[in-house]
Chain A
Amino acid sequence: MVSNSRTPAGAGGLRQLNGKQGFRPLNQPVPAAVEADGAGNPAAVLWRGVFRRVAAIHDTWRIDDEWWRDEIARRYFLLELEGGRRLTLYRDLCRDLWFAQPYDRPRDAASA
């Protein structure tokens, strides 16, 4: 019987799978070089070797999770660069670092 490749691995699946040979997480955040403005919003992003100005920020949302373990606090920005390129970036609020990561706003995320 062929197993369904979309079947969830179940609770705690990540920890089990992380130790397993041949497991690779998908959609890992990629470090990004970002110039922020005074309010902490991205003003320019290094994209393909050139700093491009942010033309518009279409959406922003925040994720706070796992404060009991390794705290995760991120502010995501769905933005458009000059030239029309759309990107999703987030600022890691715990480490003050910027990352790029394609991601849709979760429905229950509190608006910024």
Chain B
Amino acid sequence: MFYAGRPMDVACLLIPDFLVALARRDNPALRGRPIVIGGSPEEHTAVAACSREAAAAGVTIGTTLRRALALCPDAVFLPLQEGQAASEAAALFDLLKLYSPVVEAIAPGHLHFEMRGLPQLARLEPQHWLEDLHQAAEAATGLPIRLAGAPAVFAAHAANFGEEGSRRPVLLREDDAPRYLARLPVEVLPVTPAMHQRLRLFGLVRLGQVAALPFAAMQAQFGRDGARAWRLARGHDDSLILPASEEVRLVEEIELPGPTALSEPLCIGTRGLLQKALERPEARGRSLRKVEWRVGLESGEQISRRVVFREPTADPARILFVLRPKIERLQLPSAAISLGVTLSGLCSEYGHQANLWPVGPRRWRELVESVEQLHARVGEPQVFRIVEVQPWSRIPERQLGLVAFGS
């Protein structure tokens, strides 16, 4: 039997202190010790993340590393491994995409996603569905994960942020949400730290206290943020999950008719691949910025080259013009047996303003003389060119003008 009331629409997945959790997973000896991430203390950079133990000593994100050392001499200082964090976050995002079609990445290790109707599809109760997901995510990442499902984004988000420690996934029903939210600290509200501090100075520590105030009082004291905080504290939230737009990538691959180490067959094959990719419906009427070219070798290796265009293009000849020198310079350790291209960075069609005639200096002189002859014959200018006169003007007729060609 499913829960009564409004269905659980959204969920929040959170790995608290993501960077610290990664460091502790890779080195279990760090558990319980204060950690500061950002580099070694002699570096002139700032703290990128810190553990709760370090935070308790006064270290905050943005503090200089030297200051962090002074505040917490026992801390373990670790370098910021952005690449690893990004790939772990991407892996978590991909895992969640297997469970929900609408996933929004809020920050590394923090995702919101829709779960409306998904437990029913899996013939599970929402709590069991979330528990399955929780187990799968913890097993895949090896990281402590918090999950909360609720009828609205803020309730799910607040349920994860408001309580310490690991626990089973939380599931809030619409009628439970206000009571649950009431005991959470005001710091879960998505407002500025200054407003959190002001709320505390007013003696407002829990969301329940905020919700109990008259709406007008919150609005009068804090303006628009106050009105929003009051609504959120009562569980009223109509914000939506905005899924990440997926980049269109066009991939084409061929097996070469026979192994080769010559550049010309590779160029011919590349031209064919580019033409095939650019004729696909997804590429029609669009230009691209990035091309990844790769060749598979008999030895099993793969060599790739990436080209990023300053101006987007949809012209296979131009793409090949840029790729050809890279292909010709290759010294393949063994014969090539396959080719592939991936086109990405697709954007709207990009136009180039071409000259009216292919004008060289001599041709230009002839043209100017012909136009001047025409002007002299008629007695007044007949051919004009557009010039920007006052492009900054708000008066439309001042912006552009025509001047006699050749003047």
Contacts and interface: CB of A to CB of B under 8 A. Distances in A.
Whether A and B are associated in the same complex: the answer reads: yes
A105 to B, nearest CB: 10
Contact of A14 (B390, B394, B396): B390
A26 B401 contact: yes
Q: Is the interface of A mostly helix, strand, loop or mixed?
A: loop
Given A8-B388, A23-B402, A28 B397 contact: yes
What size tier do the contact residues of chain A reach? Answer: 20 to 34
B290 to A, nearest CB: 29
Nearest to B391: A8
Nearest to A108: B394
A14 B391 CA distance: 11
A9 B387 contact: yes
Contact of A17 (B359, B389, B394, B396): B389
A23 B403 contact: yes
B389 A13 contact: yes
Contacts of A9: 387-390, 401
Interface string B363-375: 0100000000000
Most buried by A among B381, B387, B398: B387
Contact of A101 (B397, B400, B404): B397
B360 to A, nearest CB: 10
Contacts of B394: 63, 65, 106, 108-109
A13 B390 contact: yes
B48 to A, nearest CB: 37
Contacts, number: 81
What size tier do the contact residues of chain B reach? Answer: 20 to 34
Interface string A2-18: 10011111010110010
A27 B389 contact: no
A25 interface: yes
A21 interface: yes
Given A8-B391, A14-B390, A22 B381 contact: yes
Contacts of B407: 20-22
Interface of A: 2, 5-9, 11, 13-14, 17, 20-29, 63, 65, 72, 101-103, 106, 108-109
16 contacts: A2-B359, A6-B388, A8-B387, A17-B387, A17-B389, A17-B401, A22-B381, A23-B401, A24-B402, A25-B389, A28-B397, A63-B395, A65-B395, A72-B395, A101-B397, A109-B394
